[in-house]
Structure 1
Amino acid sequence: MYLNALGILIDEKLKNGIAESIDGSIEFAEGVLRALEMLEEAKYDAVLLDSDTMEKSQLIESIEMISTAQRKIIIMILGERSNLDLVAGSIKAGAYDYILKPVEILKVSRLLEKAVRDHKLKAEKVDKNKDTGDKLIGQTKEIVEVYKMVGKMAASRVPVLVTGEKGTGKKSVAISIHQFSDFSDKPFVSINCTAFQDEFLERKIFGYEKGAFPGAAFDQMGELEKANGGTLYLGNIESLSIDMQSKILGVLQEGEFFRIGGTQLLKTDLRIITASSENIEELIVNGKFIEELYHKLKVLEIDIPPLRDRKDDIPFIIDHYIMDCNEEFGKNVKGVSKPAIKKIMRYDWPGNVSELKNAVRSAVALCRGNSILVEDLPANVIGAKISKRRGDIQDWILADWIEGEVSVLKGNSQKDYYGNVISRVEKELIRQVLEMTSGKKVETAEILGITRNTLRTKMNNYGLE
């Protein structure tokens, strides 16, 4: 498990020892006010606060402010004092634990790691609707071949290129390769290359030093450092500029890199898995992709078959998503009627598994009984839309999703279609960008094109703090 921690008022001996022993990274703040600024700009798993120089009232206030800044953060207190009032007051204010000094440095690191791990396991059990990513599902020979390739690729650390149409589950394959590897306990870091302009993507991947550019108020680790020891996944690599391609090629060739504005050469030990839905060889011919990088990335290659080529897997996929949607909507849908499954099997699913997932979600929401009927399915699956669609497959999926949402609102006799649909889109957009920026609000607001105050208000409204 990779831990991202923040230490406050930690003495130099502890600083060095924890930084070397912790399974992850830890940054340090010399005071609570500076720590609150750092919590505003980045997301942390845990805070370690030394309380020896603080009065009880200061300590309690500090714990409360940290909890307010990041509600789900783990707060561990270090201290030489151990009276009931101080320790109980700290726990009541929101501290996870109080560690009595003197204590072994290694024990501090392990207590931090265990606290975060236990907290995350508890959160996963409580939050049943949490999206943990799509799984590889099916029993056809086509998907079984993919399973075999995943097993073979997991045994090594060489780069893998995952190809396939949009919506086939390329990221799911990458996650599976990582989970079956010997370093599955190390971080899996994912970047969607289409989500950032070059300037932000470079900062995201390589990190930067304080003062490297206007607004760089402190040192920031990049995803290359965060993924060290594990896997870095780069989705939609066809969208990378030639400049970014050359920089990634340099990392693959040398196994080292500089942060932006940095002078210290950083070593990296990780596996890179990339994905694309485009024909990279055509991009090479057209001068849009570096051939040497292509060969470096595709030491191993796995192609995900489209859903239309493994239709016998569709019933298994439907069963899986029905169970998920039953929990989401509080339904008890058992399956799909024979007429409905015939319609589903005749449809070619140009948006692949992603489109099927959206269709099942819409159908479960509309379903009035225990079985999905033909009338619960999206119109294009039924065949009501005979005109050919134009545009990108993702536009088709979006259109189907909106159609499903409108049907649900209509079925529930709700009004304000615009507000209901747009709010769901806006919430998910903000959530994903926050995830991509590791919770940094300034960068998130800049990417979204809104002010930080507007972002803070929307995060509060949507419960994204």
Structure 2
Amino acid sequence: MSIQNILVADDEESMRWVLSKALRKKGFNTDLARDGDEALRMIKANSYDLALLDIKMPGLSGLELLDKVKEERADLFVVIMTAEASMKNAVEAMKRGAYDYLTKPFDLSVIDAVVEKVSRARDMSCQVTLLKEELKDRYQLEKTIIGNSPAMRDVYKTIGKVAPSDVTVLIQGESGTGKELIARAIHYNSRRLGKPFIPLNCAAIPKELLESELFGFEKGSFTGASERKLGKFEQANGGTIFLDEIGDMPIDLQAKILRVLQEKEVTRTGGNQSIPVDVRIVAATNQDLEESVRKKAFREDLFYRLNVIPINLVPLRERREDVPLLVEYFLAKICAELEVPNKRCSAEAIKLLTGYNWPGNIRELENTIKRAVILSPDPLLVAGDFPGLTSKGADGKGEELSLEGIVDLKLRGSFSNMERMESGDVYSMVLEQVERPLIRFVLEKTRGNQVRAADILGINRNTLRKKITELGIEVVKQA
């Protein structure tokens, strides 16, 4: 990441002018400040890569400003300039976090050397930071891609085979199957580890903005383009770009992606210069691209360039043996995130979760587990803690529950937090709510014949009459 924006803060107008002219001639964007206070305001309002600060200025001195800078922008490289070549100043500047220290007067070639030195240091710092983050992500990723089913074992084998090369990969699967996780696994196991991984969802960006997101634009190329912007391909240079939902990409833009694959260069919107890029492309879609090709909605030549190595992720319903592992992983993850005691699922709950169809795949499973963890006060999650699934069968559609199952489901919904309930006659209240519809139903079936209804219910006729009065049941005799 080379230097672009530089701030020069010096109370001498001649020094500001000389440095500004020299730096702008080299192509740097340069802002000027007359004193420390103005410089601090500019640092808070703008993004600079390097600040050249005079040690003696009105208001905040260079050293005082350096302290403020380290509080506001710890990543900003600062070079202190001074006309007093004292060891005390030099030691103090470096102790407070300055990157370098220059004594006036100096030749402009010294500034060139310092800027180049800072540029290399920034690149190295960014690469180290990125590598640390990617190694951390890689470690997390290895614990995140869950599954021992034959289908997932095949995916792991494919990742191992294709990751070391730069071959283009097309990941296909339904929404929620974890396509981006697989793309990241390919990147983190490749020679491009330590370089950028840049994801872009082609379906989430309006058509008119997608091109500039991919290829960037030059300053003034359209209304609102106040400065040059690098596109995703340039940002991913040396690394991997992940084009998610590429099946939604407009057909005219597909031709430009094909050109990047063939020529390995891009042209910014509003520009005429071809910019070389070294980028590996991993694409993903939840659509049938072969069908899209037949319908002329997707370019055939681009499909074949992308589909060099296909990876097909099967839906969760086709690898149900992985559900218990996923449930265990999500329970641990969600409880840690919510800072609640660890929870586990009963055997009945696991059976229910494994049998469900999961049209939303892994993403739906995670959300379902999270909802149950939040709503249930108990350390053991049972089938009734998943009311959205209890009323559905393995195909995700309606399935008739037993009477006991319905009562269990309703009770859990009504008394989800038993610990907070006050003492009371819950037993009688629940029985009353069950008795009323039961007696009403039997009376309807016997057309109001209480003798027959009492016989079916297995209770005395006088007991039935008493219940009818107590429960306020209206008896309608039918002919």
TM bracket, shorter-chain basis: 0.5 to 0.7
Q: Report the more deviating stretch, 97-106 or 226-235.
A: 97-106
Render the CA deviation track for 1:170-189: whole Å, top value 9, x for unaligned.
01100000000011111000
Match of 1:108 in 2: 118
Matched, 1:7 2:1: no
Shift of 1:75: 2.1
Mark the CA change 1:148 to 1:190 in structure 2 (over 3 Å): closer, same or farther. same
Q: Select the residue among 36, 47, 52 that pairs with 1:50.
A: 52
Alignment of 1:253-402 (within 5 A): 253-377=262-386, 379-383=387-391
Render the CA deviation track for 1:172-210: whole Å, top value 9, x for unaligned.
100000000011111000100011112211111101111
Larger radius of gyration: 2
Mark the CA change 1:331 to 1:280 in structure 2 (over 3 Å): closer, same or farther. same
Render the CA deviation track for 1:327-349: whole Å, top value 9, x for unaligned.
22111224211111111011011
Shift of 1:304: 0.7
Mark the CA change 1:371 to 1:199 in structure 2 (over 3 Å): closer, same or farther. same
Alignment-mate amino acid for residue 57 of structure 1: L
- The answer to whether the 8 Å contact 1:224/1:232 transfers is yes
Alignment of 1:13-412 (within 5 A): 28-31=29-32, 47-52=49-54, 55=57, 57=60, 74-81=75-82, 97-101=98-102, 108-109=118-119, 111-113=121-123, 135-377=144-386, 379-383=387-391
Match of 1:404 in 2: none
CA distance in 2, matches of 1:277, 1:366: 32
Mark the CA change 1:132 to 1:158 in structure 2 (over 3 Å): closer, same or farther. closer
> Helix, strand or coil: the match of 1:174?
helix
CA distance in 2, matches of 1:412, 1:7: 61
Tell me the TM-score normalised to structure 1 length. Answer: 0.68
Render the CA deviation track for 1:218-272: whole Å, top value 9, x for unaligned.
1111111110111011101111111111111121121112111112211111101
Shift of 1:142: 1.1
- The answer to whether the 8 Å contact 1:236/1:277 transfers is yes
- The answer to whether the 8 Å contact 2:141/2:181 transfers is no
> Helix, strand or coil: the match of 1:142?
helix
Mark the CA change 1:307 to 1:218 in structure 2 (over 3 Å): closer, same or farther. same
CA distance in 2, matches of 1:143, 1:245: 31
Tell me the TM-score normalised to structure 2 length. Answer: 0.66
Shift of 1:5: 6.1
Q: Report the more deviating stretch, 277-286 or 6-15.
A: 6-15
Shift of 1:49: 1.4
* Identity score, percent: 31
CA distance in 2, matches of 1:231, 1:200: 21
- The answer to whether the 8 Å contact 2:243/2:284 transfers is yes
Match of 1:426 in 2: none
- The answer to whether the 8 Å contact 1:36/1:66 transfers is no
- The answer to whether the 8 Å contact 1:333/1:371 transfers is no
- The answer to whether the 8 Å contact 1:167/1:352 transfers is yes
Render the CA deviation track for 1:356-392: whole Å, top value 9, x for unaligned.
1111111222232322222332x33222699978xxx
> Helix, strand or coil: the match of 1:138?
coil
> Which runs of 5 or more structure 2 residues have no equivalent in the other structure?
9-18, 103-109, 398-412, 420-479
Render the CA deviation track for 1:142-167: whole Å, top value 9, x for unaligned.
11111111111101112111000110
Shift of 1:114: 6.0
Shift of 1:115: 5.2
CA distance in 2, matches of 1:122, 1:155: 20
Mark the CA change 1:149 to 1:241 in structure 2 (over 3 Å): closer, same or farther. same
Mark the CA change 1:78 to 1:359 in structure 2 (over 3 Å): closer, same or farther. same
- The answer to whether the 8 Å contact 2:356/2:395 transfers is no
CA distance in 1, matches of 2:234, 2:282: 15
Supply the RMSD in Å over aligned alpha carbons.
4.3
> Helix, strand or coil: the match of 1:80?
strand
> Helix, strand or coil: the match of 1:319?
helix
Alignment-mate amino acid for residue 77 of structure 1: V
CA distance in 1, matches of 2:316, 2:42: 47
Mark the CA change 1:8 to 1:64 in structure 2 (over 3 Å): closer, same or farther. farther
Alignment-mate amino acid for residue 155 of structure 1: P
CA distance in 2, matches of 1:241, 1:348: 33
Match of 1:445 in 2: none
- The answer to whether the 8 Å contact 1:335/1:372 transfers is yes
Mark the CA change 1:175 to 1:386 in structure 2 (over 3 Å): closer, same or farther. closer
Mark the CA change 1:291 to 1:87 in structure 2 (over 3 Å): closer, same or farther. farther
Q: Which has the higher contact order (CA 8 A, sep 6+)?
A: 1
What is the number of residues matched between the two proteins?
373
Shift of 1:112: 3.2
Match of 1:453 in 2: none
Mark the CA change 1:348 to 1:387 in structure 2 (over 3 Å): closer, same or farther. closer
CA distance in 2, matches of 1:216, 1:64: 35
Mark the CA change 1:240 to 1:306 in structure 2 (over 3 Å): closer, same or farther. same
Alignment-mate amino acid for residue 78 of structure 1: V
